[in-house]
Amino acid sequence: MEKFKGNKVVLIGNGAVGSSYAFSMLNQGACDEFVIIDLDERKAKGDAMDLNHGVVYAPSPMKIRYGTYEDCHDAALVVICAGAAQKPGETRLDLVGKNMKIFKSIVDEIMKSGFDGIFLIATNPVDVLTYAVQKFSGLPENQVIGSGTILDTARFRHLLSEEFDVSPNSVHGYIIGEHGDSELAVWSGTNIAGKSLYDILNENPEKQSRIEEIFVNTRDAAYEIIKAKGATYYGVAMGLMRISKAVLNNENVVLTVSAKLNGEYGHDDVYIGVPAIINRNGIREVLETPLNEEEKAKFAKSVQTLKDIQSPFFE
């Protein structure tokens, strides 16, 4: 069943997000060969050296080096974090024109190498750029994954875990839709350690306003972090590492990623954050989590937001 062999990972874009991802991969011993590519060769070479000095204390050996696009030919996973970052006050969607051009040239180089592994995209606007990578590369849709709402779901579970004083691992819920302002929480499917959030709110109606605040804080977390320190990177790096491990270890785990819809939720021709089963082949299956009428309407709006942005580029 496995089409892909080996577990070489190539990172394109070694900025704040990419280098944090490299560090988390080393810490988790998630692959045995890690290649870094960036326009800023000097900094990337410095990072490769620095990371190599941590290998002796890592859980397993890892070869880390600066490389070229030819390195992609036998990579299991190519992770793209290259591009312009979100500036204070700028929405993720403002970035689209800039990053679309950068992506065309990067994906052309990768495909010239003969790459036939899994793409994982983090650069914003991530849903639109994931769609673009699938179009530019021509690879099967399951082989192209965007980080989607993996980070937003983590932020949501973290805030709920603080509110209810349980581990985020015991909080079950998804943020779906655009990784951005039109995303939504699937409240109807959220449960805290097995008890539905709706039941909890029926018993504790005073918590309703806190729950609404939690969603707003989830959705707007990036703006707050960017205001405070210029960029967000540790959380997304952990999310990227989680998806990478799901692919490399053939986990069949459900994660909220940007996946291509082909009729699921009544939509198609869009990559958007949804729960999906991730394994060695990339996206095994998009899961249709039940949505109530309000959630369906919000999701449809989020799909439209993305289509409005991507369509001028792909008509």
- Whichever of 123 and 305 has its CB closer to ligand NAD, that residue is 123
Closest approach of ligand NAD to the CB of residue 186, in Å: 18
- Whichever of 108 and 212 has its CB closer to ligand NAD, that residue is 108
- Report whether 137 contacts 111 (CB < 8 A): yes
Cα–Cα distances in Å, from 302 out to 28, 154, 250, 261, 305?
34, 19, 30, 13, 5
- Whichever of 4 and 260 has its CB closer to ligand NAD, that residue is 260
Given 53, 73, 179, 267, the catalytic residue: 179
- Whichever of 85 and 303 has its CB closer to ligand NAD, that residue is 85
What is the 3 state secondary structure string of the chain? CCCCCCCEEEEECCCHHHHHHHHHHHHHCCCCEEEEECCCHHHHHHHHHHHHCCHHHCCCCCEEEECCHHHHHHCCEEEECCCCCCCCCCCHHHHHHHHHHHHHHHHHHHHHCCCCCEEEECCCCHHHHHHHHHHHHCCCHHHEEECCCHHHHHHHHHHHHHHHCCCHHHEECCEEECCCCCCEECHHHCEECCEEHHHHHHHCHHHHHHHHHHHHHHHCHHHHHHHHHCCCCHHHHHHHHHHHHHHHCCCCEEEEEEEEEECHHHCEEEEEEEEEEEECCEEEEECCCCCCHHHHHHHHHHHHHHHHHHHHHCC
Closest approach of ligand NAD to the CB of residue 203, in Å: 34
Closest approach of ligand NAD to the CB of residue 105, in Å: 6
Q: 33 pairs with which residues across the strands?
A: 8, 63
- Whichever of 175 and 277 has its CB closer to ligand NAD, that residue is 175
Residue 12 in tokens: 């394109």
CA dihedral 232, 235, 236, 240 (to 10 degrees): 160
Please identify the residue of the shown chain whose CB is closest to the bound ligand NAD: 15
Closest approach of ligand NAD to the CB of residue 200, in Å: 28
Closest approach of ligand NAD to the CB of residue 108, in Å: 11
Concerning whether 158 is annotated as a catalytic residue, the answer is: no
Residues that bind ligand NAD (CB under 6 A): 12-18, 38-40, 81-83, 85-86, 102, 106, 122-124, 126, 147, 151, 179, 231-233, 236
Closest approach of ligand NAD to the CB of residue 87, in Å: 9
- Whichever of 151 and 241 has its CB closer to ligand NAD, that residue is 151
Residues recognised as catalytic? 179
